[in-house]
Chains A and B, each alone.
Chain A
Amino acid sequence: MIIHDKILGIVTLFYLLLFVVHVFYFATRKERVLSFIWAILYITFGLHTVGLLMRWFESYKLNMGHAPLSNFYESLIVYAWSISLIIIVLKKRLLYPVITAGLCLISLGLMAYASLSPSVVHTIQPLIPALQSNWLHIHVITCFLAYAAFAVSFLCGILSLLGWKNFVPPQENLEQINYTSIIIGFPMLSAGILTGAVWAHYAWGSYWSWDPKETWSLITWIIYALILHVRLMKDWQGKRMAFLSIAGFISVIFTYFGVNFILMGLHSYAT
C-alpha cells in the first residue's frame, strides 16, 4: 500500500549516491566517472517519476485520488523532481560537474527534509474543496519548474562569487548558464502566476487579492524581470549579476517557505 514511500526513500539514497559520486569525481578527475554520473541521474529521475506516479495511483486506492501536488511534503518531492528535470533539459549546457553536484545536493536536502522532518506530514491527505481543480496541476508544475530553474541561476551566482579555481567554470559560461536558466524560469514563473490568477478567479472570486503568496510571487517576478532588463539594456555582468541572481532566489525561497511559515494567507494549505 505504501510502495511510493519506499521508492521515494530509495530515490533519496540515490541523490546521496549522486553527490558522493560527484565528490569522487573531484578527487580523481576521471572522465569516465562523468558518464556514470549521468547514468545514475537518469535512473534517479526515472525512479523519482515512478515514486510520484505511485503516490498518485495509491491516492486513488484510498478513495481520494489526486495528483501529488497538494501538501507541503508533496511540494518538496515535486521540487526535487523538477530540479532533476531541469538538469536533464539543460544537459547540453550543464556539463560542469560542480553545477550538477550543487543541484543534486539541493535535491538531496529537499528529499531528506521531506522524509526526515517530523513536522512534515507524509501521509496522503484528502483534497480540500478549494484545491479540487484542474488548474492545480498546471499551476503547481509551472511554479516548481520555475523554482528549479532559479535554483540553477542561484548556484551560478554563488559559484561566480566563490570563483574557486579548478572547480568553477569560466565566468562567461557561468553567465550563459545563469541566463539560460532565467530564460526558462521567468516564463514558467509568469505562467505559474497567471494560471494561479485564473484559478483564483474561479476558486476565491478574485484573480488577484494581494494574498502574501501572490504578493511574494509578484516580488520574485519583478526581481527576475529587472535582472533580464539590466542585463539586456544596461549590460550588467559579473558580480552585480551574481548578487541579483542570489537576491532573486532568496525571494523564491521566501515565496515558497517563508510565506507558509511566517505569513498566513489563503495559500496556507501548503504548510
Chain B
Amino acid sequence: MSVTKNNEDNIIFSKIQQIKESAYRFITSIQFTIVLLSLIAVSSIAGTLIKQKAPVEEYLSLYPEGIYRIIQLFGLDDIYHAPWFYALLVLFAINLILCTLRRLSRLIKTKKRIILPEEDDLKNMPVSFTVNGKENQYVVRMLKRRYRATCEETQGAVFEKGRLSQYGSLIIHAGIIITLIGSLTGLLFGYKGFMVLRKGDVKDYLTTGGRHGKIQPLGFSIRCKDFAVTFYPGGEPKDYVTTVEIIENNKRIMEKPIRVNHPLSYRGLRFYQATYGNEANFLFTIGQERVTLREREVYRKGGLSLMVIRFERQIHDFGPGVLVAYLDREEPKTIWFLRDVQRLKEQKVAGIPISFNEVHEDFFTGLEVSRDPGVWIVWTGFASILFGLFANFFIYDRKIYLRNTADGILIAGTCKKNHERFSEEFARIEKEINRDNT
C-alpha cells in the first residue's frame, strides 16, 4: 500500500519536475523572446493609433461608449504605462537575463581548452597550405604580426583574431538589460515637474505633473533673473534663454543661462527650457488705491467685484484696451477701458471712479524640471549596446593553426562567418610567408 503511494508521489513529483523544467525551458527559449517582442511591437503600434492620455470627452467623441469601456479597462488610453505593458517588459527582461546567463556559461565552458587539431583535420579545413624551406620561428613571427598566439607547443601553435566578436551579442544583450534597469531606476526614484517663473520671481519648489499637481521642494531657491527671446529676420524663434540664479542658504551660488538643448544641472535636478509666454499686467487706480491686476484675477473690495476678462493690444487706432466684467447689484455687466482715450480711461463703475493707467507685458518662462538618477545607468547601457553591435557585426573570429609535419609546416585556418573575407586574408598571409625574406 505504502509502496504504491510512494510511487504515486514519485510520479507526481517527477510530473511537477517535468512541468517546471519545460516551463523553465520555455521562459529561456528564443520562441518566448519572439512572442514577447512581437507583443511589445503590436502594443506599441496600438499606442500610436489610439490617442494616448487624452481627456474622457475626446475618447467619447471618437469611439462608441462600449469601445471606450474596453479602452479604459485595458488601459489602452495610456498603454506605455499600463500594468500589463510593464509586465511584458519585465518578462522580456527576465527572458533576456536568463538567455544571456546561459550564453555566458556556454562561452566560459568553450573557452577552457584550445587544442591543436590533428594533421588530417587541419588538411580538411576550408583553407590550408604547406610551407617548405622556411624556419618555424620565422613563420610564427609572421603570424604573430597579425594574430594573437593562444597556444604554443612543440608540434605547432594556435593563433586567433577577433575573439571579441564572440562576446558581441552578449554585450548587446547585457546593454539592453542595463538600459532597462536604468529606466526602472528612473521610474522608481525620479520625478518630473514644471516651474513657471516671471522675471524676478524666486521659487524653492516645483509642481509635479499629473492630474493632481503636487508641490515638491527643491532644497534650494531659483531666481529668474532674465528671460529673452530672439527671432530670425523671418520671425521664427531663434533662441530663448532664461537666466537664473541658484540661491542656497541666502547665498548666491551661481548664475547660469538655460536654453533649449542646454539644460541646467544642479544637485541631481535638471532644468530645461520648455515653453515661454507673455502675460499682461494692468495698472488701475480704483478709488484712491493703485492696483495691479492680471487677466481673470478678481478684485474685491467692499461691494465692488471686478476682473479683466479680455485684453486687446490695439483697438482700431485707439491703443490698448481691456474689457472689465463687474457685478452691479448681483447683475453681471461689462465695460471697456481704453488707455489712450481720456473719456474711456476714467469711468465710474458702481459709483467708484476707476482709471486704467497702463499695461505691462512681461514674459514668463516655463521650465521643465526632472530628477532621473537612472540616466547614467541608461547611458552605460547605450554604450555597451553600441560597442556590442560593433563587436558582433564588424569584427569576426578566426583561427589559424600551425603544425609541423613530415612535409613541412602545415598552416590551416577556420572561421565561423565572413568566409570570403577570411580566404582573402589567408591568401595574403600565404603570400607574405612564402615571399623570400632576403
Contact = CB atoms under 8 A, between A and B. Distances in A.
Interface of A: 63-64, 125-126, 128-130, 132-133, 183, 186-187, 190-191, 194, 197-198, 201-208, 210, 212, 215-216, 218-219, 222-223, 225-226, 229-230, 233-234, 259, 263
B344 interface: no
B47 A215 contact: yes
Contacts of B262: 202
Contact of B382 (A198, A203, A233): A198
A233 B274 contact: no
Contact of B370 (A194, A197, A205, A210): A205
Contacts of B390: 187
B260 A222 contact: no
20 contacts: A126-B236, A126-B238, A129-B240, A129-B259, A186-B389, A187-B386, A187-B394, A191-B389, A198-B382, A202-B261, A202-B262, A205-B272, A207-B375, A210-B80, A219-B44, A222-B40, A223-B41, A226-B38, A230-B34, A263-B48
A61 to B, nearest CB: 13
Contacts of B270: 205
A133 B233 CA distance: 21
Contact of A197 (B41, B233, B382): B382
7 tightest A-B CB contacts, nearest first: A129-B260, A187-B389, A205-B272, A126-B232, A222-B41, A205-B368, A133-B261
Interface centre among B45, B48, B183 (most CB of A within 10 A): B48
Interface of B: 30, 33-34, 37-38, 40-41, 44-45, 47-48, 52, 80, 183, 192, 232-234, 236-240, 259-263, 270, 272-274, 368, 370, 372, 375, 378-379, 382, 385-386, 389-390, 393-394
B427 to A, nearest CB: 16
Contact of A206 (B48, B370, B393): B370
Contacts of A187: 386, 389-390, 393-394
A202 B44 contact: no
Contacts of A190: 385-386, 389
A194 B175 CA distance: 12
Contacts of B34: 226, 229-230
Contacts of A204: 272
Contacts of B236: 125-126, 128
B18 to A, nearest CB: 24
Nearest to A132: B261
A194 B389 CA distance: 12
A191 B394 CA distance: 14
A62 B259 CA distance: 23
A64 B289 CA distance: 50
Contact of B260 (A63, A203, A216, A233): A203
Contact of A186 (B40, B240, B375, B393): B393
B47 A194 contact: no
Contacts of B389: 186-187, 190-191
Nearest to B80: A210
B48 A212 contact: yes
A219 B261 contact: no
A265 B61 CA distance: 21
A208 B238 contact: no
Contacts of B192: 205-206
B261 A229 contact: no
A32 B263 CA distance: 58
B194 to A, nearest CB: 10
Nearest to B272: A205
Contacts of A132: 239, 260-261
Contacts of B274: 205
B41 A130 contact: no
Given A205-B263, A215-B44, A129 B239 contact: yes
Given A64-B232, A126-B236, A215-B44, 6 more contacts: A129-B237, A129-B259, A129-B260, A203-B261, A225-B37, A229-B34
B263 A222 contact: no
Contacts of A210: 47, 52, 80
A186 B386 CA distance: 11
Contacts of A208: 183
A107 to B, nearest CB: 25
Contacts of B33: 229
B255 to A, nearest CB: 21
